[in-house]
Structures are given as C-alpha cells and as structure tokens.
A = this chain, B = another copy of it.
C-alpha cells in the first residue's frame, strides 16, 4: 500500500458537514486497500478569520505544502456578502492558496449519473450521453490582476490579464486530456471584444498545431453559455479562463442534475487540491441537509489524480452509483417522479455510500 499525507480543510458553511464524509471515504479506502493515509486538518476562510484574523493562516499554508494532497470543502459567509466594504474576506484564503500552490488547472468533469436524469431542469433527451471535462484556468485572469478602489470610492477596477505562458500550459493539459477522450476541444473566450481573449485565442491556435489529431473549436462565452444547455453533447473538453470557467461550470451543474454532485481537481506545480464546485451554502449550513456526494467524488478524484489509485477511485464512484441506484437521495437531487426513493440528510447519505464501499 501507499503512504500518504492528506490535509483536510473543511472551510465554511456546509464545507464542514460534507468534507467529513469525503474524509471517511478516504479512510475506508485506506483500510480496505491497506494504504496508510495520515490526516491533518487546516483552517481557511471565515472560520480562519474568526480564529486568527487571516483567511489563510501561515500554518495552514505550511501544512498544505507538506501534504501529498488536499481535500477542501467550501468558503464564504453571508456577513461578507452583505457588506462589500469589508477588507478582509474569506475568499482571499482560497485565492491565495490556489496561487501559492501553483494550482493553475482546475478540472471539472461534468457527467450525469443515469439515476439523476430526472433531477435536472433540462430535458432528458438533451442530457443523455453528455460528458464534458472542463479545464478552467485558475491562477490568472481578472481574479488576480491588480484591484483598485479610488479614495473617494467612486471608481473601482480589476485588471483582466493573461500571460502567454499561463495560456500555453493549461492548453497543453487540456489537449492531452482530449486525446484520452473523444479528441475534441472547445476553447471559450470573448475575442471579439477583449484583448486578453485575443491573446488567449492566438495562443490556443498555436498550441492546437501540436495536436492535429484533436479537433479544435473556438467559441464566444455568450454563445457557449447558450450552447451548453441547448446541446451539451456537442462538447468534449472545454478549455477556458478563470472567470468564464467559474460561470460555465456552475451553469453546467444542471447537466449533472445538481451542484451537489460536482467534484473538481485543481492541479499544477505539485500538491493537488480537491473540492466540490458548490459553495458554503449559508442557507442550509448546519442543518445536515447538504449533499455529501460532491465531496465524496472529490475524494475519488484525489485518489485517481494525486495518488494514481485508479481502482480505488473507481470503487468510490461505483459506491456512489450504487447508492443512487438504491434510491437514496438528498434534497437537491430528489424528484417527486422517482418512485421508491428515500430522501435523507447528509449523514444518512454518507453512511449509505460507506456501506456500499465495503
């Protein structure tokens, strides 16, 4: 078996509730497959501001650098959302750890478990067979460009900026992935208006030449936001910048039935970082209602991508599949048309997956 150190950062809101189940799944896999996973815990976000004043305490960052992989929950709190003038904010922790660990490629696989066809607002015949892998650039764009607020507070700005090397490295990753899938890549930008998008497009066109076996398409973000729900099956790998990727992948959650199903992997320099796409969901936090499957599926991605444990990863996905086949549902994926289904909370759902793992 392998010997690995995993840092768990539950973060804010439902992050606390769901990450516990991602971790339990990892512990069960370790036991069943005779691996040694050592867990540490770190704080980040609102909870870290409350405890230390800093959304990403130095100690958490140190632990992160010394781990083999990180399982993260969610970040954010209503207090900051309601007061845009606050200077110290939970999200700064997440942005900083992405930057510090060089996590430039955020992989967001969108796939529908057959059982959830009815949970989506989109028609089943449009969804069936959709299978998209997003590559969202994660350490550049308007997220990290210079921010300014004039002293009179009358003007505010953020710099949307991309460097050639940032586009090149994620484009290569996306093309490599396309080769292992259906050999299609769609790059999304707004090159008809934005200079940074024109650079994006030009660099992707260059990288594309190295992958003549992959069919490349360029699409404007507005059109992509439409095509994604009009005809999701036309997409294989989607490559895009930080901001457009943020928007498109949340939208794409409807293709997977619910946001509560979507896992993501952020990779780059060394340590991998795994997190659900959903946020801290203040409205249901602390109520035990959140869907733990996105955290559990994030654990599956961690096993596969950071540890190369493909069999173990598949075992987790199969356990999730089995749980859904047995009719177990959290609120977000419940559908009144599904007979013989049982609607349950976070812990009951997590426990079912653990049962199915054994």
Stretch from A32-40, A84-92, A318-326, A350-358 at the B interface = A84-92
A226 and B247 CA atoms in complex are apart in Å by 8
Give per-residue flags for A219-244: 1 if the beta carbon is below 8 A from chain B beta carbons, else 0: 00111011011110000000000011
Q: Within 8 Å CB of A199, what residues of B?
A: 84, 149, 153, 155-156
Q: Within 8 Å CB of A251, what residues of B?
A: 222, 225-226, 228-229, 251
Which of B81, B123, B196, B244 contacts A158, CB < 8 Å?
B196
Number of this chain's copies in the complex: 2
Which of B164, B191, B231, B254 contacts A155, CB < 8 Å?
B164
Q: Within 8 Å CB of A205, what residues of B?
A: 84
Give per-residue flags for A233-276: 1 if the beta carbon is below 8 A from chain B beta carbons, else 0: 00000000001101111110110000100000000000000000
Q: Within 8 Å CB of A194, what residues of B?
A: 142, 147, 158
Q: Within 8 Å CB of A310, what residues of B?
A: none
| Majority SS at the chain A contact face | helix
The bracket for how many chain A residues form the interface is 35 or more
Given the interface pairs A121-B126, A122-B122, A154-B163, the reply to whether A76 lies near B231 with Cβ below 8 Å is: no
Cβ B160 vs Cβ A157 within 8 A: yes
Taking the nearest CB of chain B, how far is it from the CB of A330, in angstroms?
16
CB of A162 closer than 8 Å to a CB of B: yes
Q: Which residue of B lies closest to A77 (CB)?
A: B192
Taking the nearest CB of chain B, how far is it from the CB of A171, in angstroms?
14
Interface, chain A (partner B; CB < 8 A): 76, 80-81, 84-85, 89-91, 95, 121-123, 126, 142-143, 145, 147-149, 153-165, 190-199, 201-202, 205, 218, 221-223, 225-226, 228-231, 243-244, 246-251, 253-254, 259, 279
